Amino acid sequence: MSTELEAELRAAFEAASEPVTPRGDLAGRVRRAVRRRRKQSAAAVAAIVILAAASFLTGSLLTTRQPATHGRPTHHVLVRLRPGQSAEAIAAAGRTCMSPPSIPATRRTP
């Protein structure tokens, strides 16, 4: 390698390796950026928590429209009427008429 080329390379490397001094307000700018990111993160987490709580409450309010049973089980009885038969006839006849062998009464629980 020639001495001229070596001298040019040495001068270029020395110029490139000179210490770079940061601006005086760099530390303050970094602190402000960190605080801003923390505030944004806290706001995002708060918004997510509020949305999750609202969706939970909405879902729970929409699904609890059942009448209160006060600890007692409720039973629903479905009675199929024959053509021409009225509900008054079943009520007056009693339990034996409600479930004839040909048309059994079915029970449903909620």
Higher per-residue pLDDT: 44 or 103: 44
- Is the alpha carbon torsion for 12, 18, 22, 24 positive or negative? negative
Q: For 55-95, write each residue's pLDDT tens digit.
A: 998 888 877 566 666 666 666 667 777 787 777 766 666 55
Q: What per-residue confidence (pLDDT) applies to 98?
A: 47
Q: For 1-36, write each residue's pLDDT tens digit.
A: 688 899 999 888 888 877 777 788 889 999 999 999
Would you list the domain boundaries of the chain?
A: 1-65, 74-110
Q: For 31-48, write each residue's pLDDT tens digit.
A: 999 999 999 999 999 999
Q: Which residues contact 51 (CB under 8 A, 6 or more apart)?
A: none
